[in-house]
Amino acid sequence: LKKWSKAYNLTALKKDEDIIIKHFLDSLLYLKVIPEGQWSICDIGSGAGFPGIPIAIVQPEFSVTLIEPSRKKTAFLRHMKKLLSLQNVEVIESRVEDVKDRLFDIAVTRALFSIGDLIKKAGHVLKGGGFFVLNKGPKFEDEIKGISGDVKFEIFPIDLPGASLRRNLIKVYLDT
């Protein structure tokens, strides 16, 4: 990750400890709110593969699709898929708005959009009964107040191990 990041701008984090805690452990927090099963999951705006790649490693029964518009970043994601022999990972080079022929049980993202924008731009990729899992900062309540329509939220405040940081994982259910 650090080697590729110099050329491809994958992460601003430089120290190994920060990368482990703020990328890998942070990504695994999503599993605290995803029930066991064989899910199809898309990681929207996957960037360097977080949270999708750690989820795919720990849960090989999940089918994980990494959606990323940047050609450089998708080259990195394909390299990691091959290097780690991740048979359960697919990489799509596209903006999520342009993904029209795929449906997923669960969509995850790391604060790429506001909640309202995410629903507008990516709601079409969720199967009926599917949901988003978002990792949001402390101001998420302001975003939720601005959402209209039949949208349901579950909020899970979780402390990030190894850091004095609190994450707010939010499950967003659309009435589809």
Range with lowest mean pLDDT among 56-60, 80-84, 99-103, 112-116:
112-116
DSSP state of 95: -
Tell me the per-residue pLDDT of 121-162, one tens digit each, with 9 for 90 and over: 999 999 999 999 998 877 788 888 878 778 999 999 887 666
- Give the pLDDT of residue 74: 95
Residue length, the chain?
A: 176
CATH classification at residue 153: 3.40.50.150
Rg (CA), the chain: 15
Q: Is the pLDDT of residue 8 over 70?
A: no
Instruction: Tell me the pLDDT band of 2, cut-offs 50, 70 and 90.
Output: very low
Number of domains the chain contains: 1
Domain hosting residue 166, numbered range: 2-174
Is the bond leading into 51 cis (omega within 30 degrees of zero)? Answer: yes
Q: CB-based burial of residue 13 (10 Å sphere; 0-12 exposed, 13-18 middle, 19+ buried)?
A: middle
Tell me the per-residue pLDDT of 42-88, one tens digit each, with 9 for 90 and over: 999 998 888 999 999 999 999 999 999 999 889 989 998 999 999 99
Higher pLDDT, 143 or 171: 171
3-state secondary structure of 68: strand
Q: What is the pTM of this model?
A: 0.85
Q: Is the pLDDT of residue 111 over 50?
A: yes
Q: How crowded is residue 29: how many other Cβ atoms within 10 Å of its Cβ?
A: 19
